[in-house]
Chain A
Amino acid sequence: MPKAFSVTVNGARVGVTEDMTALAAILLSGTTTLRRSVSGEPRGALCGMGVCFECRVTINGEGHCRSCQIRCAQEMDIRTDD
């Protein structure tokens, strides 16, 4: 069984397992707007495979992380729409 723990998405705890991506955690939290375009339009994950860059979020303080390419880890702090 993959290890289970929780991460935070915009400050709220979300239960995940270690085989899940940060994107999965974000979607589980009910959040679909991951970032804003330069003109302020909402953006969300499109390709899910690291190509489109639309799923970028702030993870542990680091901006522009592609959430579809990063697995959840303990104590991970995820912020969307920064």
Chain B
Amino acid sequence: MRARAYDVVIIGAGIVGAACAWACANEGLRVAVIEADIIGGGATGAGMGHLVVMDDSEAQFALTRYSRSLWQQLVPELPDDVEYESCGTIWVAADEEEMQAVRQKKEFYEVRGVSAEVLDAKALRAAEPNLREGLVGGLRVAEDAVIYAPCAARFFIERAQSRGAELYLPRVVTEISAEGVRLNDGSVIAAHRVVNAAGTWSPMLTPGIEVKKRKGHLVITERYAEFVKHQLVELGYLKSAHSMTTESVAFNVQPRRTGQILIGSSRQFDVESKKVDASILKRMLERAADFLPGVNRLAAIRSWTGFRAATPDKLPLIGPWVGRENLFLATGHEGLGITTSLGTAKLLADQLLGRASEIPIGPYLPSRVPESVHA
């Protein structure tokens, strides 16, 4: 066999591709990363940057917890512009039914060794005085954090480069072949393995993978220090994230290091336009004001949209693509790609090297038969 320039070529320098590049380069593999636009220019740059343990399913919990622990190990090395803040998450319960869910969540976490603290109504207001009265309580997950994800992606790429990885940017991949990848200028980058980490663009290069665009809106405000202190998410968020209906909004706000407040969230399937949708924005802000009445007095400076790479069972696709020996996937991370980028990179590198992973990989393999997602 003719010697190829690279062991692995990674398509996409979003945070997932960047993390994969770093992990592979760390293992001594010869790595190329090909990015069509800029580092972190897709969902990475559009999203909130919440590092969060989620318990939609056991598999989602396993990957988010594993990934969050990898982030925590990395904190001392993160550059300042990654803006890592360990503000924690509070899942806010609006009624008794949701408070019951809080207690279940607490037990689920406790049994699995993740610390979480149940807040009653009084403790919730003490923690977040700007929340409206009448909320029943919440669950504080103190070890969750936030980052500025595009800078994290850039940092991962820099680390990969310092280990010999090469970045091709801006270069557009038009085809994945047995040789490697073909670019739109006709040239071929030869590699033994190809990793499709192109997020919402991944199905264009690998037809047949079940990744759909799921649009989201965000708003950022001026600086209002201490307006909120934790990432605040309504318990009902899961209902929104879960529902496969065409559109939903949920209360989800985040304090930035600057004092700015990031306000979300919305989910829409089957929308291609990147335009801000005024009616969705209105619903989203009304939802935020329902929990935080003071939001109405804050000045917003910008709103934008982005697209999540969503899979039917809410789990990413990590591993070999069936029927294509040289092709691996690292895509379909929906709203959790910032958190799970590091875990994904480990699992992918393990598979490329043919070794066991620290968590079971079955639920993320592209060849899986999806379990029905529990609601």
Contacts and interface: CB of A to CB of B under 8 A. Distances in A.
B258 A64 contact: no
B297 interface: yes
Interface in A57-82: 62-64
B50 to A, nearest CB: 21
A17 to B, nearest CB: 28
B224 interface: yes
A38 B297 contact: no
A62 B297 contact: yes
11 contacts: A38-B223, A38-B258, A62-B297, A63-B222, A63-B223, A63-B224, A63-B298, A63-B299, A64-B222, A64-B223, A64-B299
B222 to A, nearest CB: 5
Interface in A40-58: none
Interface in B181-229: 222-224
Contacts, number: 11
Query: Could you tell me the dominant secondary structure of chain B's interface residues?
Result: loop
Contacts of A38: 223, 258
A76 B224 CA distance: 20
A38 B148 CA distance: 15
Nearest to B222: A64
Nearest to A36: B223
Nearest to A39: B258
Contacts of A62: 297
A31 B272 CA distance: 51
Contacts of B297: 62
Given A63-B222, A63-B223, A64-B223, 5 more contacts: A38-B223, A38-B258, A62-B297, A63-B298, A63-B299
A81 to B, nearest CB: 12
A62 B258 CA distance: 18
B346 to A, nearest CB: 35
